[in-house]
A and B are shown apart, each in its own frame.
Chain A
Amino acid sequence: MTEPRRGGLGLWRRGRRVWRPREGLLVLPALVFYILVYLYPLTRLLAWSFFDPGPTLKFYGALLAEPAYLKALSNTLEISVAATVLSLVLGYPLAYLMATSGARARSLLMALILIPFWTSILVRSFAWIVILGNNGIVNRTLLSLGLVSRPAKLLFDMTGVQIGMVHVLLPFMVFPLYGVMSRIDPNLLRVARSLGAPPRRAFAKVFLPLSLPGVAAGCVLVFLLAIGFYVTPALLGGAGEITLATMIDMMVNTLLNWGFAATLGVVLLAVVGVIFVLFSRLLGLHRLTAVGEEGAR
């Protein structure tokens, strides 16, 4: 018999050969799969962006020199910041309403947010094309009310992209906000009121500061998702709304410029990676995964 080993993978114990895997080993299959089909391809992107076929920085140089690229970058930032601000302005009152309502109203509101949240993004983008098009219900209403003399252009420009994006991103703002707000003790507000604070002041001095972690989590999450958005800008935007994501698609599927596509991918990945790691350090990963949990309720 071989000498019994202790520790290691925990397969040997007290001299008896017993299969005692530590529970942590259950992570292994997923880890191996991720390394092969997720981590490895992403690191290959790095290689593509730095070699052609010898080492080169020309793709990164082109990024800084090319106006079309800078336009895509500024478009992406503009769209993402606008989508984040709009989602916050619209989502905060909705989350507040949910957090301060009774159980029945709360689950009704939650259900009405979850249905569009899980509905295919293609279906939703298509729905906006039907609604906002020249013959759509919005334009026909505007025309019949005499508010416009010819159909307003609501699609294939920034308006269309913003409407479509806020529609998709709003739940990602509401879930973290609601998660934080629903844990705020309502007695705190009652105390503030009983001490003479008018409702508005009680809200501003007590509720608002306590809800700020939710605001931060929601904004970071929405921004993170917005900068990588592809489907909505591609379907609802026009030629002027090229973003980093749609540019990657163009590089791969039309221009066949793989090195440049990989470089754009690396830039996008770096931005997302930095925000993601900072976010999980400062606010905790649970605030991010809470969206998945909330969404799967």
Chain B
Amino acid sequence: MSDDRLSAGRALLWLFGAALLVFLIAPIIVVVITSFNATPYLAFPPQALSLRWYRNFFQSAHWIDPALLSLRVALVAMAGATVLGSFAAIGLARGRFRGKRGLELFLVSPMVVPIVVMALGLYFLFSPLHLLGTPAALYLGHTVIATPLVMVIVLSGLRSTDPAAELAARSLGANYWRALWHVLIPAIRPAILSAAAFAFLVSFDEVVLAIFLGGPDATTLPKRMWESIRFEIDPTLTAISSLLTLLVLLILGCAELARSLQRRASRG
């Protein structure tokens, strides 16, 4: 009797969970399907299928130029955040110094500072330096927001490593940098790679800093999308949305791969 009720409750719970997942996933699926529509207005389900909005994205400078700028910014921010964040994570995990907790708090705090406030601060910083409207403003801003994420991911990768391996290397005569480069970093390489991939994604999708700091001259893809959503709703947005979702799937796939590599690596 009570088992029956338990399984009935369980079924209800699954029903609820399924409905919630539909709520989470369905909007994305609707947009992806709409992107194959042939008509010049948004229609779901599509009346006729075509790839015209994808063609439009790749062929019009209005869209592809911002996409190329986003790619450039994301690559720079990824490189900067991965180097700064990985070293900071190693320093926090292996270093022994006072105020470490406070420092860690400070280094992850950009994750919770409202992005609008950050954008405002950087706006005031870059304005007298004549950096507003240049890609450099976005390189710097995006590196700040991507670094804490890299740090958190690499720190969690470091937790599965054994400091004894570096000590062994050092006792065999390797200096600190050699031990770092040849022992520790290879051990956490999967974590660093997946952190880099997420840093790329965070920068590539970032819109608020792009709006505040980009000006008319440095328009990234999200900024162009933002303008289009607000003022004209171009159906090309649906094609771009699908492509951005595809990017997420690729990166999640890579992260999953990295995770299984990390597991294998730490198992020995």
Are B121 and A115 neighbours in the complex by a CB distance under 8 Å? no
Q: Select A235's contact among B84, B109, B230, B238, beta carbons within 8 Å.
A: B230
Q: Select A115's contact among B83, B95, B123, B252, beta carbons within 8 Å.
A: B252
Nearest to B114 among chain A residues (CB) is: A228
Nearest-Cβ distance from residue B220 to partner chain A, whole angstroms: 11
Are B124 and A48 neighbours in the complex by a CB distance under 8 Å? yes
In angstroms, Cα B81 to Cα A292, docked, is: 15
Whether a CB of chain A sits under 8 angstroms from the CB of B30 is: yes
Nearest to B96 among chain A residues (CB) is: A24
Given A42-B121, A122-B225, A230 and B248 contact (CB-CB distance below 8 Å): no
Given A121-B205, A228-B114, A252 and B120 contact (CB-CB distance below 8 Å): yes
Given A41-B124, A112-B21, A127-B28, A27 and B91 contact (CB-CB distance below 8 Å): yes
Interface size class of B (residues with CB under 8 A): 35 or more
Given A29-B83, A124-B28, A293-B152, A42 and B90 contact (CB-CB distance below 8 Å): no
Are B105 and A235 neighbours in the complex by a CB distance under 8 Å? no
Are B107 and A25 neighbours in the complex by a CB distance under 8 Å? no
- Grouping DSSP codes into helix (H, G, I), strand (E, B) and loop, the B interface class, with mixed when no group exceeds half, is helix
Nearest-Cβ distance from residue A25 to partner chain B, whole angstroms: 7
Nearest-Cβ distance from residue A110 to partner chain B, whole angstroms: 10
Nearest-Cβ distance from residue A244 to partner chain B, whole angstroms: 8
Nearest-Cβ distance from residue B216 to partner chain A, whole angstroms: 12
Given A20-B176, A228-B117, A122 and B222 contact (CB-CB distance below 8 Å): yes
Nearest to B90 among chain A residues (CB) is: A26
Are B116 and A249 neighbours in the complex by a CB distance under 8 Å? yes
Whether a CB of chain B sits under 8 angstroms from the CB of A120 is: yes
Q: Which of A66-74, A93-101, A142-150, A175-183 contacts B (4 or more CB under 8 A)?
A: A93-101
**Chain B residues near A109 (CB, 8 Å)?**
17, 21
Given A30-B87, A37-B125, A167-B27, A24 and B255 contact (CB-CB distance below 8 Å): no
Are A23 and B124 neighbours in the complex by a CB distance under 8 Å? no
Whether a CB of chain B sits under 8 angstroms from the CB of A116 is: yes
Nearest to A95 among chain B residues (CB) is: B17
Are A30 and B84 neighbours in the complex by a CB distance under 8 Å? yes
Given A90-B20, A125-B229, A42 and B117 contact (CB-CB distance below 8 Å): yes
Whether a CB of chain A sits under 8 angstroms from the CB of B226 is: yes
Are B28 and A115 neighbours in the complex by a CB distance under 8 Å? yes
Are A120 and B205 neighbours in the complex by a CB distance under 8 Å? yes
Q: Select B233's contact among A127, A129, A258, beta carbons within 8 Å.
A: A129
Are B238 and A130 neighbours in the complex by a CB distance under 8 Å? yes
Whether a CB of chain B sits under 8 angstroms from the CB of A212 is: no
Nearest to A91 among chain B residues (CB) is: B20
Whether a CB of chain A sits under 8 angstroms from the CB of B244 is: yes
Given A27-B95, A170-B24, A230-B115, A289 and B155 contact (CB-CB distance below 8 Å): yes
Nearest to B29 among chain A residues (CB) is: A127
Q: Select A296's contact among B141, B245, B255, beta carbons within 8 Å.
A: B255
In angstroms, Cα B111 to Cα A228, docked, is: 11
Q: Which of B6-14, B46-54, B55-63 contacts A (4 or more CB under 8 A)?
A: B6-14
**Chain B residues near A121 (CB, 8 Å)?**
205, 207
A69-126 contacts to B (CB < 8 Å): 90, 93-94, 96-97, 109, 111-116, 118-126
Are B13 and A96 neighbours in the complex by a CB distance under 8 Å? yes
B186-243 contacts to A (CB < 8 Å): 194-195, 198, 201, 205, 207-208, 211-212, 222, 225-226, 229-230, 233, 237-238, 240-241
Q: Residues of A with Cβ closer than 8 Å to B?
A: 19-31, 33-34, 37-42, 44-45, 48, 90, 93-94, 96-97, 109, 111-116, 118-131, 133, 135-137, 167, 170, 198-199, 224-225, 227-231, 235, 245, 248-249, 252-253, 258, 261-262, 265, 268-269, 272, 276-277, 280, 285, 288-289, 292-293, 296-297
Query: 8 closest Cβ contacts across the A-B interface?
Result: A228-B114, A24-B95, A41-B121, A26-B91, A27-B91, A127-B27, A292-B152, A30-B88
